Chain A
Amino acid sequence: MRENRRHAPETVERYLDSTLESVDNAEELAVGAAQRAGFEEDDLMKIGMAVRESMVNAVVHGNRYSAHKKVRFSVAHSANRFTIRIADEGDGFDFTALPDPLAPENLMQTSGRGIFLIRSFMDEVDMRHRDPRGTEVTLIKYMVSK
């Protein structure tokens, strides 16, 4: 990471509509903040993809594109970690029982790789049910000094 380009810690929070445009917006916000935080190209790509996949889950599967439901999106950058939180207002799902997209019987499925990619690209991923409804995903990328 480029120490001399690191900016002061910042926090961004938005309530986004449940649209594919919001997916693009969230990705852009996250990558912009990550760039200002000093992440390099490879990590920017990973953060962007993890945010995109999480936002798609929130918009498409959680809120089902509902005009009445929002996605709460936040990015926080501190000294040692970059944290993104994405929360939908959907019915929730059992994220402990997801099929393994790498299993031979699933390899040729046309969907089901999103969460796997999120976990591959981020250092920590936490999913929890929100009260009274919805799912919140927390994505963390460590800020490693060189």
Chain B
Amino acid sequence: MSVSFLLRRLFYGLILMVGVVILNFMLIRLAPGDPAMVIAGEMGGATDEILAQIRTDYGLDKPLMTQLWIYISGVAQGDLGQSFFFNQPVATLIAQRVLPTILLVITAQVLSIVIGVFLGVIAARKPNGILSGFVTVVATIGYAVPVFWTGIMLIVLFASIIPIFPVDGMQSMRLRGASFWVQALDVAHHLVLPALTLALIYLAQYARLSRASMMDVLGSDYIRTARAKGAGERAILFKHALRNAALPILTVAGMQFGNLISGALLVETVFNWPGMGRLAFDSILRRDYPTIMGVLFFASAMVVVANIITDLSYRWADPRLKGQ
């Protein structure tokens, strides 16, 4: 049952990805100007030779449907095109940068959910308490602060005032060649500020959401039943209530994943984090379209995967969905 659900979900994800590929294809052709010139990019040194190369590679002299077919089958074989600026296959470029982005995004997601939900649960116990007020205020502020600006402010704070965390890049040059654990620790050290920056906005939102969701759940009949059994306050909050309050939180966590990737784009730029966001920024400045499209494709694939994981965990969390 669950396997067929997973297969159905994967198939649907595949269709979405084909959609992204078609969209990429159409965008290049919708852009003003000669597609070959567009693909070559402004900085690519669009010599006649390169343009001719592109026209054969992409079949630009053939009918549109054939071009689409060439493009899709290329992507299916892992060929996302050639970056004329970096002079490398796009797939290679992305492969080098996908792990840092995943590391950043997942760390931020976990941090924001764990801390945010914890704060929200505690705040829900006293709807008019100090912590509740604090959560509301922080959520309102956190929502209004541009994430890149938070990052820059943290750089000021940690670069000049309390220099305990590195503010640039992912690794220290001097540790090249050190043992794995030393390097891993170094990466974690570099990860603190970017992940915190990215987590801060969502943390506040999760706190507000889980507070509201918990307050909703805490008023329900089955919580009263749990009290009538003699269950303790902690069991009521973290066992009886949170399992139910987690459902809307999960939904939002899934929907936020795309926004998180967008945020990562900005944060990577601020902290020089060598991920896909940084790559997107560099390639957009150079109008390196194959790379931009590759990043868009890959980032969308990450969202699709995240959605599938969300759906699965939702079904795990809510027994009412299992039979369906």
A binds B: no
B contacts, CB < 8 Å to A: none
A contacts, CB < 8 Å to B: none
